[in-house]
Structure 1
């Protein structure tokens, strides 16, 4: 239940972290590159800081309620695995990040 609640809290922010690079590319085309890049970087940092804040708050709640450290460790291991899977899947959906295609598959046959 704790893990599921953490996932629900983090998922929207993680989605924003994943979408941020795409929006920065669009803004680079329209405006000055350095200014748009700096703004996109600040936005991305803010999203990650929000995720870290949520994780820190939940860790403090677990500690305050004397949850055994091995359970806390298991919860955070599962949460970080969830984050890794979400980020990896987002990379696979971006064409410029994934160079494997059906043509590559036919060469293997």
Structure 2
């Protein structure tokens, strides 16, 4: 149930993170970056819930493995469907967001035993 709720929350944000902002205005870029931060916040909330309820590490790893597999599949499929996203700048934008998720995994690794599951 928890995993399903996180997937639902993350999927609503994923549609916004596959396309880079078109203008170089700082306000728009920070709005776009906030989508990636929202995903990280959802993952932090899940991690906190699992730790507060003393969920065994193996279950936590399995939940996060499934969530990251879901994120990878959703991003990949969304990018394939939307031709307007086939650009270098868009690829760099998505890569930057995935690096943010990778940094979160690295930071959370000692507590949960997460490995890096990004594209």
Pair 1:76-2:67 in alignment? no
- CA separation in 2, counterparts of 1:49 and 1:95? 25
Any unmatched runs of 5+ in structure 2?
A: 88-119
Q: Which of the pair is proportionally richer in helix?
A: 1
When Rg is computed on C-alpha atoms for both structures, the one with the higher figure is: 1
Structural RMSD (CA): 1.8
- CA separation in 2, counterparts of 1:44 and 1:70? 33
Q: CA deviation at 1:41?
A: 2.2
User: How many equivalent pairs are there?
Assistant: 86
- CA separation in 2, counterparts of 1:92 and 1:71? 32
Q: CA deviation at 1:15?
A: 1.6
- CA separation in 2, counterparts of 1:44 and 1:77? 25
Q: CA deviation at 1:82?
A: 0.4
Alignment correspondent of 2:12 = 12
Runs of 4 or more off by more than 4 Å in structure 1?
none
